Amino acid sequence: MSAVNRPALQGHFSALWREALAGAREEGWRWIFVAKSVAAALAALWLSMRFQLDQPRLAMITVFIVMRPQTGMVLTKSLYRIGGTLTGVLVSLLLVGLFAQEPVLFLTGLAVWVGICTAGAAFYRDFKSYGFVLAGYSATLAALQAAPQPQAAFSLSVTRLSEVTLGILCAAVMSDLIFPRRLSDQIIRNVQKRYADFIAYVRVSLSGTATRSEQEAMHFKLAGDVIALESIRNAAILEDPEVRSRDLKLRKLNSEFMAASTTFYSFHQILNRLTKNPTPAGEALTGIYDSLGETLELAEASPRSAEAARLTARRIAAFRALLSRKVAAARRNSPELSEVQNAVDFETALELLHRFLRELHAYARTYAKLPEKESEPQPPDDITFATHTDPLAALLAGAKAFVSMLLISAFWIATAWPYGASALSFVAVTSSLFGSAPDQYRSVRHMTMGHGSGYVAALFFMCFVMPRLDGFMLLAAALMPFLMVGSYIITYPQWIAVGTGYVVFFCAMLAPANPMVLNPMGTVNEGTAALLGTAIAGLVFMTLVPATGAWHKRRMASQIRRQVVTACFAPLPGLVNRFEGSTSELLHKLDATKHLDPNGNERLVTWVFMVKEIGRAVIHLREDADSIELPRQLSAQLQESIKSTAHLFARLSLRNRDQALDGVTNAIDALQREGGLASPREGEILRRLLTSLHLIRTALLDDETALAAAFGAPAGQATEDIVNAA
């Protein structure tokens, strides 16, 4: 009987073994990160005690703040943390030297500095933002400890800097030497997956089976991939010389991907407009884009090698070679395409298709060349990723931090509260984190959850575990399970604020020292003050001009539409990359906050898509117009069309919309009059100018865009009402 069942049992155990290996691959890196984080924190604690530093908890807290699963994230974050901490320490020395004997001026100056740092953290992104966070927090911590004894301010500041630096070194050594998880590997995975997702999106869009919500979700994902690759690339530069040598290729890859995705969106939009009400141009294009979908079906979904990417590029090039014959056949089979309006519609869609194929071909070729080493230095380039942040929103975040600091400071002075310094320290750090978070509501909620759970864990440890310990080894063994909980939560991106808040608050409240001091009531008082500081900061950020309020919505809508103004008037060198990067970041920010106000968010998203379409058309219009010498009257008409388009998006009104349509229409008429008098080269450029203008005009006339929805109000309604509705 056993012999009969042996093959079945072997198959069963083989399946279990495969499942176990898959689970280990999925969860293994998490537990490696947990082990490295706890080991680095305990090493920092032991070294701090060995060197007899005043506050070993600062070294432990630093470990958990800078520790991340990828090595490059730790190294880059550590660099900015050291710079931010040093700046904060210098500012604390200045404040103590000037106002140590004047509590009101001292705390006001500290509140101003924290407000400035919070505004900087909200304005910048990635590790520059983190440097501002640390500059505000470090200044508060060092200044509050040095103010009661200004004669020892310098030595205390040096000690704080030493504790922070020790934690940074422990985190960097553990992360880089023990099972390092390189950011370069994550870059490869990001690039490969993004290619597969984009090709799949193009296929589904051309087939017409994708719903609007599915297409919108894919646009959100593509924008997030752009931001993710840029963030990883910045962090990996410090980690791997191979990444540094390929930095230009990575930036070029991101630039080409953004260009291809925007061009395809414009192409898909004009196809929808031409096929919504059947037209000869739409019918002629149907067979062409169907064959494009078949070509992409043959291409590799995810090029795992450079050779596979080259094969994809060759197939796209072959389709481009066949496209001219397909276009000629479509013209022969559709005599109606010779009519002026049909010809312009057809040429506009065809120009977008040619542009998309060129950009997709360049994207695949750059991917194929990514593993190759450069044999000679690269020339200077203008491929830069432009971040986009509203300066007024950043100043508002700084004002909220300033108000939070003043509230706690006033309460401290009025009541002579013994634990006011603890509350003020946590106001400083949480205000900076809240101000730089894309979703302030979630940040406040998660940080409060983490602090509260860390507070409870610290009280439990101090009351029931610590009295039974003797020596560092027992202390380390007892701390391990508590620290492992927070480290494991950090491995989940959506819960990183909870995990970090828990482990930071646990270490801060436990306050390990040499020798250890058992003071449960002091921990209760200090923890309550710290929680109060976090709550006050969170309350101010959620109630004082909240992120879901009307002001933020109007500002975001204005910032989105201002992208078209930038496309109209900004200097042309590098403008495409700056425009694409900033609009992608705006879309990514909307994705992070879409759960707060789904309806309002959807209206803003439709504005982003329209802005991307018209903005790119304006940029191509300006580039082509600058490439040749145009007649004075024609040049004036083109400039007038650009100015009127910019005025419309700078301030929405029915009059500005009519002027924009008139300006574009007049420029189209002027181009059509000049077309027959130009040389072949000039004629090609004039044709591209005509297609760009026609694309702008069709977008302005489309009754399903955000612009059409904005002017859905009754005639005679005030312009301000239209702006608010948009």
Of 238, 231, 227, 243, give the one whose Cα is nearest residue 130: 231
pLDDT tens digits, 574-631:
888 889 888 888 888 887 777 667 676 778 888 988 999 999 999 999 999 998 888 8
To which residue do tokens 């530093």 refer? 53
* Residue predicted with more confidence, 507 or 494: 507
DSSP secondary structure of 92-128: HHHHHHHHTT-HHHHHHHHHHHHHHHHHHHHHS-HHH
Model pLDDT, residue 157: 85
Place 16 in a pLDDT band, splitting at 50, 70 and 90.
low
Residue 463: φ, ψ to 5° = -85, -35
pLDDT tens digits, 122-153:
888 777 887 888 888 889 988 988 888 888 88
Residue 5 has pLDDT above 60, yes or no: no
* Dihedral (CA of 610, 613, 614, 615) sign: positive
Range picked from 7-11, 68-72, 494-498 for highest mean pLDDT:
494-498
Residue 337 CA to residue 76 CA, distance in Å, equals 58
Residue 469 has pLDDT above 80, yes or no: yes
* Residue predicted with more confidence, 617 or 181: 617
pLDDT tens digits, 298-312:
554 445 566 767 777
Whether the CB-CB separation of 720 and 625 falls below 8 Å is answered with no
Model pLDDT, residue 380: 47
Whether the CB-CB separation of 488 and 30 falls below 8 Å is answered with yes
Residue type at 259? A
Place 403 in a pLDDT band, splitting at 50, 70 and 90.
very high
Structure tokens at 93: 């020395």
pLDDT tens digits, 641-698:
999 999 999 999 889 999 999 999 999 988 887 655 566 777 788 888 988 999 999 8
- Taking all residues of the chain, what is their mean pLDDT, rounded to a whole number? 81
Whether the CB-CB separation of 308 and 370 falls below 8 Å is answered with no
pLDDT tens digits, 407-439:
999 999 999 899 999 999 989 988 888 887 777
pLDDT tens digits, 624-648:
999 888 888 889 999 999 999 999 9
Model pLDDT, residue 722: 31
Place 717 in a pLDDT band, splitting at 50, 70 and 90.
very low
DSSP secondary structure of 120-182: HHHHS-HHHHHHHHHHHHHHHHHHHHHTT-GGGHHHHHHHHHHHHHHHHHHHHHHHHHSS---
To which residue do tokens 């801060």 refer? 508
Mean pLDDT computed over 519-534: 89
Give the contacts of 390 (CB within 8 A, at least 6 positions apart).
555, 556, 559
Q: In the chain, what percentage of residues exceed pLDDT 70? A: 83
Torsion of CA 421, 425, 427, 432, to 10 degrees: 160
